[in-house]
Amino acid sequence: MTFASGSQLAQSRPSNANTATLFTATLGTEITSLVIANTSNASTNYSVYHDNDGTTYDESTALYFGVSLGANTSTVVLPSQGPGTGFTVASGGSIGIKSGTGNALTYTLYGVTEARR
């Protein structure tokens, strides 16, 4: 059985500490991983949100909330364990992000979209 490897769906480096939409699905999408890189010389916090039918980014849709990431380090969050083990974002759903410090974190989202019919 052959599966498509995840491709890059979105990338963002927020310039402020406000919540923002990283990705909005136009088709059903399996999220395979999210890499967060802190390229600054100081620790900062990150938050990641999943709203399957809109863009509400708060405690009610948080997957990770106020997690510290050390200076000049990166982490893989939302890792899948193989094809079909990620989670699905429905069409119209979104992934949101928030950085504790502007221009410190780069978020890169990977996944697989369903075929158009």
For the segment 57-66, what is each residue's pLDDT rounded down to a tens digit?
Answer: 999 999 999 9
Does residue 82 have a pLDDT over 90?
no
Domain around 90: 7-113
**Pick the residue with more confidence: 82 or 94?**
94
What is the count of structural domains for the chain?
Answer: 1
The pairing of strands 74-77 and 105-113 is unpaired
In a domain, 32, yes or no: yes
In a domain, 2, yes or no: no
In a domain, 44, yes or no: yes
pTM: 0.91
In a domain, 79, yes or no: yes
CATH number at residue 45: 2.60.120
Reported confidence tier of residue 79, pLDDT bands at 50, 70, 90: confident
Q: Report the percentage of the chain scoring pLDDT > 70.
A: 92
The pairing of strands 74-77 and 87-89 is unpaired
Residue 35 is predicted with a pLDDT of 96
